[in-house]
A and B are shown apart, each in its own frame.
Chain A
Amino acid sequence: NAGVMQNPRHLVRRRGQEARLRCSPMKGHSHVYWYRQLPEEGLKFMVYLQKENIIDESGMPKERFSAEFPKEGPSILRIQQVVRGDSAAYFCASSPGGPYQETQYFGPGTRLLVL
């Protein structure tokens, strides 16, 4: 039973480029969450999605960041025109039901480095 999968594991971008991070939830999970971790910090919630719907994007910066979870395929976190401050580890998690008192299972993360 495969866990949450994320790719790429490492991504290097130059300032101004676009970064696309992919997440495939655990089998049977239809709820996906994205988190960002800066060095020496905890994980910070960004966005919560169900298939084809963004449920809560209150933690996501209003500009340059977007997320989707299409009917078919993985969830995508997209960062346009990356800046050095976007360098961080981005984690995806999934759960079988919604976030109320549900355990979220995390993927290995994508480490984004912006040069």
Chain B
Amino acid sequence: DQQVKQNSPSLSVQEGRISILNCDYTNSMFDYFLWYKKYPAEGPTFLISISSIKDKNEDGRFTVFLNKSAKHLSLHIVPSQPGDSAVYFCAANGFASGAGSYQLTFGKGTKLSVIP
């Protein structure tokens, strides 16, 4: 049972345009959300986070939006650059089903390709 879902396995965007990556979650106990970026053969790199008490957090070209009622968050990258091409993982922090502590639960990732 996937508690964090990224329904788009891949996304292609033209350089300079906006990239929008989406994430849905089912567990209402999640209260902190993070986006990570991952290049092949490397570990995930933290990008941006948002607490459930906020609906928006911005850091440079990256903005995360949280809609608690819809259990949905999105990552906006504008303008997109070729170096942004990577796999983006959404992660939710909270007590997942069967957990013994606060854990990060990850989606399966969305592969973003930014075309020059």
Contacts and interface: CB of A to CB of B under 8 A. Distances in A.
A106 interface: yes
Interface in A28-77: 33, 35, 40-45, 48, 55-59
B109 A103 contact: no
Nearest to B93: A101
Contact of A108 (B43, B46, B103, B108): B43
B64 interface: no
B111 to A, nearest CB: 10
B108 A40 contact: yes
Nearest to B31: A101
Nearest to B98: A58
B34 A103 contact: yes
Nearest to A57: B100
B44 A91 contact: yes
B45 interface: yes
A58 B105 CA distance: 13
A6 B44 CA distance: 13
Q: How large is the interface on A (under 10, 10 to 19, 20 to 34, 35 or more residues)?
A: 20 to 34
Contact of B46 (A57, A91, A103, A109): A103
Nearest to A44: B106
Contact of A55 (B43, B89, B101): B101
B101 A56 contact: yes
Given A40-B108, A42-B109, A99 B102 contact: yes
Given A101-B31, A108-B42, A42 B103 contact: no
B13 interface: no
Interface centre among B31, B36, B89, by most chain A C-beta atoms within 10 angstroms, is: B36
Contacts of A58: 98-101, 103
10 contacts: A42-B106, A45-B103, A56-B100, A58-B98, A58-B100, A59-B103, A98-B101, A100-B32, A103-B49, A105-B46
Interface in B68-116: 89, 91, 93, 96, 98-109
